Amino acid sequence: MVDYAAPVTRDKPVRVFILDDHELVRRGLAELLTSTDDVIIVGEAATAGDALRRIPAVAPDVALLDARLPTAAASMSAGRSAPHMRMSAA
């Protein structure tokens, strides 16, 4: 069983890319996630097309996707321009 309360130890911060069509949501997520030293935001985009163009250059560990954004999850899955990257749709 995983102990989710236990601290995660990493040598470097988790690199996150945010995809959401609402700027306020992107800013809020970035503010929340960067409130610790464990996460850095390496990029963001308002459209799946923009995200697919930007992700290879910034090499995120994780991409947060707006599940209600048309074609976001499908486009990102098809693109998989960063094979090591994990995606989470919310």
Give pLDDT tens digits for 23-82.
999 999 999 999 988 999 999 999 888 888 898 899 998 888 887 776 655 555 545 555
pTM of the model: 0.73
26 close to 64: Cβ distance less than 8 angstroms: no
pLDDT in the model for residue 88 = 56
32 close to 56: Cβ distance less than 8 angstroms: no
**Closest C-alpha to 72, from 29, 17, 31, 30:** 17
51 close to 78: Cβ distance less than 8 angstroms: no
CB pairs under 8 A, 24+ apart, for 77-81?
Answer: 79/52, 79/55, 81/52, 81/55, 81/56
Query: Does the pLDDT of residue 89 top 50, yes or no?
Result: yes
pLDDT in the model for residue 78 = 44
